[in-house]
Amino acid sequence: MNAPPRPSVEVIPMLDLRAQFESIAPEIRAAVEEVLVSQKFALGPQGEALEEEIAAACGARYGIGLASGTEALELGLHACGVGLGDEVIVPAFTFIATGSAVSALGARPVFADIEPASFNLDPEEIEQRITPRTRAIVVVHLYGLAADMDPILEIAAKRGIPVIEDNAQSFGATYRGRKTGSMGRLGCLSFYPSKNLGAYGDAGMIVTSDEKLAARMRSLRNHGQTGQYVSTERGWNSRLDELQAAVLRVKLRHLADWTAKRQAHARQYDSLLRDVPGIVPPRVPPGREHVYYLYTLRVEGRAGGYTRPTDKGNEIRSDVVQQRLRARGVDSMVYYPVPLHLQPLYASLGGKPGDLRVSERAAREVLSIPLFPEMTPEQVQRVAEAVRDAAKA
Ligand SMILES: Cc1ncc(COP(=O)(O)O)c(C=O)c1O
């Protein structure tokens, strides 16, 4: 006789894209069908409409649709004059693409530390790193929260250095009434599927209000062509896919609603996790609207985080709390366990543990827990209870 099936605990994932798709499937199917009928697949009317819609949503004049957020950074940095032997100041605590886009141009990322509360670039870390070779500053708005832009823009303006916003994670966030992506020379967006506005494949965009720069980047994304089959400089093949643009336009119509739901879940987490010893919920400085791409806790050492050295001598966090959450049917992720100055990729730059202590501590302590619009208040409650138990177990 077969044993009766064991009751399975529902695992709460970090993100449920299937639930999102089910809520918009007829609209998506219609939009995809329209592209299939049009038989235009790259740089067509869907992409042009999306560029206008995204630029308007960011408070910028122009959008340049691209194939990914990484290429948005590469192209944007290149258009701002970054090239061989230049230096670009980059926060150490970010996704690797922020640094590797600089390296792809033959320039050198100069890593700077972050603020402990916001996990974003510390303005006080910038000035001491500026040299005659500094060609740009890349600011990342991490996890859905804007960096402290005013002091950064002031330092950059004083030195005549362009600021590029890596807005891959924070489309829609605000800083003192301004949208992320619209404050620097240009802003780079990623529409990677897991993003708050995610495509069904790779896609990206640059937004800017600089007309000349926009025209140049339009040419750069398509082999540097300025006329039909006439190239004036070496460019990229980074054209925005029409199917992705059509999907993104459907999703954009729902984004405000999804963001409000993310924010409501975040408020529920905030109140449930406020008093848990060793757990620090995200803090939002006054004047900023957080769009909660991720809900990231700081799990302080005594709540169970520990580190283990790798063969390279760096430390990689292996988190007890994460294992306990998994045992309770709750997914979680560490974004990001290795700061850029300690990445094997950048060993030749000579970064050592202890160089950027705030980033290194963040890498050991951060833990993101499930947050997506389709979550129910009961699921939020279940995750919060699991965190509470895991932190004290
Ligand atoms: C901070 C940051 N920068 C850059 C990127 C690169 O974007 P993409 O994956 O679209 O190339 C991402 C996302 O993946 C990111 O999170």
Give pLDDT tens digits for 291-327: 999 999 999 874 555 555 555 555 555 578 898 999 9
Residue 90 pLDDT:
98
Residue 169 pLDDT:
98
One DSSP character per residue, 262-302 reads HHHHHHHHHHHHTT-TTEE-----TTEE---S-EEEEE-GG
- With cut-offs at 50, 70 and 90, classify the pLDDT of residue 7: very low
68 lines ligand 1 (CB under 6 A): yes
Residue 349 phi/psi, 5-degree rounding, is: -85, -10
What average pLDDT does the segment 212-227 reach?
98
Q: In testing the pocket of ligand 1, which one of 77, 141, 142, 169 has its CB within 8 Å of the most ligand atoms?
A: 169
Token representation of residue 8: 């399975």
Q: pLDDT tens digit string along 338-381?
A: 999 999 999 999 999 999 999 999 998 999 999 999 999 999 99
Cβ proximity of 334 and 89 under 8 Å: no
Q: pLDDT tens digit string along 240-283?
A: 999 999 999 999 999 999 999 999 999 999 999 999 988 999 99
- With cut-offs at 50, 70 and 90, classify the pLDDT of residue 117: very high
What average pLDDT does the segment 216-245 reach?
97
Query: Is the pLDDT reported for residue 76 higher than 60?
Result: yes
Q: Measuring from atom 12 of ligand 1, which residue has the nearest CA?
A: 168
- Which atom of ligand 1 has the smallest separation from the CA of 68? 10
270: nearest Cα among 141, 390, 114, 383: 383
Q: Measuring from atom 7 of ligand 1, which residue has the nearest CA?
A: 69
Query: Is the pLDDT reported for residue 334 higher than 60?
Result: yes
**Residue 366 CA, ligand 1 centroid: distance in Å:** 19
**Residue 391 CA, ligand 1 centroid: distance in Å:** 31
Query: Is the pLDDT reported for residue 112 higher than 70?
Result: yes
Q: What percent of the chain has pLDDT over 90?
A: 89
**Residue 168 CA, ligand 1 centroid: distance in Å:** 5
147 contacts: CB under 8 Å, gap ≥ 6: 118, 120, 121, 139, 140, 141, 175
380 lines ligand 1 (CB under 6 A): no
**Residue 285 CA, ligand 1 centroid: distance in Å:** 24
Give first-to-last CA distance, the chain, whole Å: 39
Q: pLDDT tens digit string along 14-42?
A: 999 999 999 999 999 999 999 999 999 99
Residue 278 pLDDT:
87
Give the pTM: 0.95
190 lines ligand 1 (CB under 6 A): yes
93 lines ligand 1 (CB under 6 A): no
Cβ proximity of 149 and 139 under 8 Å: yes
Residue 42 pLDDT:
96
Q: Measuring from atom 8 of ligand 1, which residue has the nearest CA?
A: 69
CA 100 to centroid of chain Cα atoms = 14
**Residue 143 CA, ligand 1 centroid: distance in Å:** 11
Residue 129 pLDDT:
98
Q: What percent of the chain has pLDDT over 70?
A: 93
Own/partner pairs, 101-110, CB within 8 angstroms, 24+ separation: 101/70, 101/73, 101/74, 101/77, 102/73, 102/77, 102/138, 103/345, 104/74, 105/74, 105/77, 105/78, 107/77, 107/82, 107/83, 107/135, 108/349, 109/340, 109/346, 109/349, 110/134
- Which atom of ligand 1 has the smallest separation from the CA of 202? 10
Residue 306 pLDDT:
53
377: nearest Cα among 265, 233, 240: 265
